[in-house]
Amino acid sequence: MGLAMDEMLTPYQRLSYQAFYNIARRSAERNYKLREQLEKGRMPMLAEVYIATMWMSTLMTI
């Protein structure tokens, strides 16, 4: 994770990304449309950060 991206993330997103980095990165590579969908939704976020944050949110609700 680069310094510029690290500064843009909230502490929760940063924690999620660090926890699920490898799995989220591979999942984002397989889901090639996610990046495009995030751009259409005007969500300035990398696909792997989005996936990691959603997984952390899911884990917290279980």
What is the CA 16 to chain-centroid distance, rounded? 8
26-40 tens-digit pLDDT: 999 999 899 899 989
**Spans of all domains in the chain:** 3-61
8-57 tens-digit pLDDT: 889 999 999 999 999 999 999 999 899 899 989 998 888 999 999 999 99
pTM to 2 decimal places: 0.82
DSSP assignment, residue 9? Answer: S
Give one DSSP letter per residue of 16-60, joined into a string: HHHHHHHHHHHHHHH-THHHHHHHHTT----HHHHHHHHHHHHHH
